[in-house]
Amino acid sequence: MALIKCSECGKKISANAKACAGCGNPVKHEKNKVSGRVVFVLLIFIVIASISLMPDNNGKSPAQLRQQVCDNPVNAYRFTQNFVKLTLKSPSSAVFPDYSASIVRRSGDCRYLIDSYVDSQNGFSAMLRTAYRMDIQYDMDNDKWTVLDQDIIN
């Protein structure tokens, strides 16, 4: 049981008492300031985190952002990885090489030809290397990638 000093007479009284037993002075129970501060700090943290996680578009229009997607060959390479995973027996086992180990060529307006490979497990859990070539194009109007042609070489 915690004891506090009476603000009037200075006697020690129970923190749960409504009034001092010695002088009758009512005990003012302070609200838990710590929990209020914690809630305030958490709210500030959430606001700052939300602002920092917002995409920074640098004032660019949606069309300019889509053009950025189109102009970045790494985006094309990542799309092919996602597409190839759909064709695998064990997509979770897929291991793709780094971008620098693949051949990515721009072959037109928002169009790329990609030669790469993936190591993944087959139906018998053996790791196999599968080479692939994909011809893909980014449709800026619909904001999506499309496979124009694919060759999977086992």
**Domains: count for the chain:** 2
Dig out the tokens for 36 from the structure.
Answer: 């209020």
Provide the residue range defining the domain that includes 49.
Answer: 17-53
Are 94 and 30 members of one domain?
no
Mean pLDDT of 46-61: 73
Residues 6+ apart with CB under 8 A from 15: 1, 2, 3, 4
Q: Flag whether the pTM goes above 0.75.
A: no
Residue 39 DSSP SS3: helix
Q: What is the pLDDT of residues 19-36, one digit of tens each?
A: 888 888 887 766 555 567
Rounded Cα gap, residues 49 and 97, in angstroms? 33
Are 74 and 114 members of one domain?
yes
- pLDDT band of 6, cuts 50, 70, 90: confident
Q: What is the pLDDT of residues 68-100, one digit of tens each?
A: 888 999 999 999 999 999 989 999 999 999 999
Distances (CA, A) of 9 to 15, 31, 45, 146: 15, 22, 43, 82
Question: Which sign does the torsion angle of CA 17, 23, 25, 31 carry?
Answer: negative
